[in-house]
A and B are shown apart, each in its own frame.
Chain A
């Protein structure tokens, strides 16, 4: 059992043994609240800190976009919320509160009962995410019946309903098809039908459109948005594509090397970003909607390996503004600070400096 990290501010003093500390925690008012989540993997090469102190909250009907490059820990986070990490090779600590229930320290059986029913997930590659030997219908029926005590016939009818609702033509026929008989877009629809079969209140979409063509991506994003409105569910959208985030999210969490670099409303993140990494992401992106007069402004270097995370601010070797704070970022890790109401960033630069850099150096070149 993972022991709570005692650095946190949540009544840490009351915690002295594993059994007692559930009482010490205060359930939050938010629908989903993640507090100081840490997911570490001990390996032969060293401890991989895939997620290292992540906190965020999400209400019903809202969408949180988690953005980051490969190895930033965004997918590990989503699997962590669902409790899908094997505790034998991963240490998970912190708290995950879903609708008043804490998940990190709950029994595996309790978390399993919530998976698929209260929280569900759709994955990047719908072909490999579905079992090749079972029909699409069978897989949806299975997902439905594990949480609902109904007959196979009722479940099958439900599966056909769901396939129809996600826009699959002739659902009563396609229900008996195997995944490989579906096209990529149809498979992702079927995957969504499966995830939504038990009306989950939290839907986690991990790069749901990365493997799809752009016209199909648009269909799937529309579908997720519509279904969210219909079910009033909370959605976590994990992606590397800032365009997808801008279209769908209410809030954005930018992850870098397992930590949160910036956490803001979508407007703030795109129009008043306060972290050099966010600037870098925006500067790296070619635009479809206008011609960029200047060259792209890439971030130098490559994302760090999680075994050898740079000291201090993990971003400092790639940061163009590191000297401005006199080398502080090389030694001291910046805390995630709420610089403006609802806008958090982890950077040593002063707010004034960052605002000036954004307005004078970054924004004009985007």
Chain B
């Protein structure tokens, strides 16, 4: 219920804000559609056909209607049926936005999920190790690497790895992934680069959480019971530490699912991020709107999943 409200608020906001922020007039839009040097009459006809000059609320109404029941576009030469959820029609590529998103989403999915698995495993293990060996050389080294990871953006590590791993040493083939059917291990380099950034973050989070948890009274109790240290750390300590991290994780993945823009750009992978970016470059408003809406949807969904999981993991939440 609340989530639906949030989604509506987001669509509303992006619909009203994006065109204004972009500073494009209806003439511009119509002009792009019409091609080179259109005359005033053609422009007016186009504007009329797509309702570019309708009041914004009316356009918004049409947009929402498209999402709920679908829409039909008249390109002048033929009519294109755009079934629900129809997020508009790109005048640049002559494609329905929904189609484009459905095309691109699996690719972004592959990038995000692969990287997520990597960074959780790496980040959490490094964090736990660091916390348990606090102050030792291992801890310091891990945290130094983590600091580097947090500070180095993907376009840096990405380009660097492309230059050395792929081109100079030729350890891996160049990243080539444009369809869900492709071998996912072609994505190994983007995974590592993206995961490096997040793993560093998660290592720090886990370390801090673990240090705090291991000072909790219930850890002392677990030791007082005579449990082996292994059980104390993993069953009692890690379980309590991971719960708040799970929240961050859900949101991070949700965010990435909306498009791993920098990673996709760096490795030229045609995912949602690329789509959105291209839309922005080309002032392709329907695409920008659609991509933003999709990203918002993923974040809201991720939030929902996190809330539900929290109840599963933490009985105190379940009972209150």
A residues lining the B interface (CB < 8 Å): 79, 82, 84, 112-117, 120-121, 123, 125, 128-133, 142-143, 146-147, 178, 180-181, 191, 194-195
Q: When A115-B226, A132-B240 are in contact, do A180 and B218 touch as well, CB less than 8 Å?
A: no
**B236 contacts the other chain (Cβ, under 8 Å)?**
yes
The total of interchain contacts (Cβ-Cβ below 8 angstroms) comes to 75
Contacts of B226 in A (CB 8 A): 112-117, 143, 146-147
Q: When A123-B217, A128-B216, A128-B217 are in contact, do A146 and B313 touch as well, CB less than 8 Å?
A: no
**B29 contacts the other chain (Cβ, under 8 Å)?**
no
Closest CB in chain A relative to B242 CB, distance in Å: 10
Tell me how many residues of B have a C-beta within 8 Å of chain A: 23
B223 touches A115 (CB 8 A): yes
Contacts of A181 in B (CB 8 A): 319
A129 touches B315 (CB 8 A): no
Select which of A112, A113, A125, A131 is within 8 A of B240 by beta carbon: A131
B residues lining the A interface (CB < 8 Å): 216-218, 220-229, 231, 236, 239-240, 243, 313-316, 319
Instruction: Please report the C-alpha to C-alpha distance between residue A191 and residue B231 in the assembled complex, in whole angstroms.
Output: 19
Contacts of A191 in B (CB 8 A): 221
Query: Which of B216, B218, B223, B224: most chain A CB closer than 10 A?
Result: B224
B224 touches A125 (CB 8 A): no
Q: When A178-B315, A178-B316, A178-B319 are in contact, do A129 and B225 touch as well, CB less than 8 Å?
A: no
B220 touches A131 (CB 8 A): no
Given contacts A113-B226, A180-B315, 14 further A-B contacts (CB under 8 A): A84-B223, A84-B224, A115-B226, A123-B224, A130-B218, A131-B221, A132-B316, A143-B227, A146-B228, A147-B226, A178-B319, A180-B319, A194-B225, A195-B224
Instruction: Please report the C-alpha to C-alpha distance between residue A130 and residue B225 in the assembled complex, in whole angstroms.
Output: 11
B224 touches A116 (CB 8 A): yes
Contacts of A123 in B (CB 8 A): 217, 220-221, 224
Closest CB in chain A relative to B189 CB, distance in Å: 38
A133 touches B225 (CB 8 A): no
Q: When A128-B218, A178-B319, A180-B319 are in contact, do A133 and B313 touch as well, CB less than 8 Å?
A: yes
Could you write out 23 A-B pairs with CB less than 8 Å apart?
A82-B224, A112-B226, A112-B228, A115-B223, A116-B224, A116-B225, A123-B224, A125-B217, A129-B217, A129-B218, A131-B221, A131-B236, A132-B314, A133-B240, A133-B313, A146-B225, A146-B228, A180-B315, A180-B316, A181-B319, A191-B221, A194-B221, A194-B225
